[in-house]
Amino acid sequence: MLFNRKSPQAATETQRHAGASAARVAPASASPAAGAFTNKRDKRIADVPVSRLSTHASWQPAGNWSGIFELAVWLRLPQGTDHPLQLALRYTDQKGEKTVLVDICKPGTYKSALLNGSVTIEAQGRVRDMGLFLLGLPGDIPMGLEEWHFLPQLKRAV
C-alpha cells in the first residue's frame, strides 16, 4: 500500500495548527487479501464503531457518500518516543481497505501527545470495519490510549 505521508518537517507545523486537514492516502487493493497490506508495525489503538458514521448529515446506508469528521486522540507515553507518531484512520468498504493519515508528531521526551485533524471518508457502499492506527511503530514503545473522539462536522438532524 502506498501512503502519501506528511513530511517530518510538517510535524512541527501540524502541532502548531490544530485541526489541519488530513492528507488523503491511496486505497489498498480490493482483493480478498486486502488485510495483508496492513503493516505488522501498525498498531490498532481503537475500534471505531461503524454506527458513528450514521451521525453525519451526508451518510447513506448504501451507495457512495463522503463526509468530513473531526478526530482526536490523546496518548500517554511514559518514556516518550524515539519514533514519529503517525495517526491514521483505516476503514474497509465494498471497494476494499482505505487508510487516511490524520496527524503526525515528531519524536520527543514528552509524556503525552495529542494527535488530531479533519478526515474525509469517501465510502463506496457499506463500511464494514473502522479503526484508529499508529503507523510504523516498533512493538517495544510503551503507550496507553487516554481518550479519543470521532465527530461529524455536519450532524444529521434529529
Q: What is the CA radius of gyration of the chain?
A: 15
Q: Tens-of-pLDDT digits for all 158 residues of the chain?
A: 333 334 434 433 433 333 333 333 333 333 333 343 456 689 999 999 999 999 999 998 888 999 999 999 999 999 999 989 999 999 999 999 999 999 999 999 999 999 999 999 999 999 999 999 999 887 778 899 999 999 999 987 76
- CA 20/CA 16 separation, integer angstroms: 9
Domain range list for the chain: 20-152
- All 3 cell numbers of residue 12? 512541527
Interatomic CA distance for residues 64 and 87, integer angstroms? 25
* pTM of structure: 0.74
Fold exhibited by the domain 20-152: Jelly Rolls (2.60.120)
User: What pLDDT score does 6 carry?
Assistant: 42
- Report the pLDDT value the prediction gives residue 38, as an integer from 0 to 100: 53
Give CA–CA dist 36/19, Å, rounded: 31
